[in-house]
Amino acid sequence: MYLAENLKFLREQNGKTQGELAVLFGIEQKTISSWECGSRKPPIGTIVSLAKLYRVYSASCLASGAYMYWEDFKDKRLPAHKVFIFEGGDF
């Protein structure tokens, strides 16, 4: 269920409406709604595109806990195995 909750949270945090996303992705608003209520899941390519739009790592859409924004790691030299650390939730 994390995916549905995260998609809605990230959309709202970025000041987008379901209708605006639907236009950007060339789909119907009810499709966005179905992703956010958990009755359907977006294709993985769409998850990647949404993550880019919201400037988060794709894994942040799928997990509970912290959201990993690109800016958090900008100009930092972190080992790959330390990049995806999620606190406060299940992965």
Cα atoms found within 13 Å of the Cα of residue 70, Cβ hemisphere only: 7
Query: Token pair of 78, please?
Result: 């972190």
pLDDT in tens, 8-27: 988 998 999 999 999 999 99
Cβ contact 68:59 at 8 Å: yes
Q: Is the pLDDT of residue 89 over 70?
A: no
pLDDT in tens, 36-85: 999 999 999 999 899 889 888 787 777 765 555 555 555 444 444 333 33
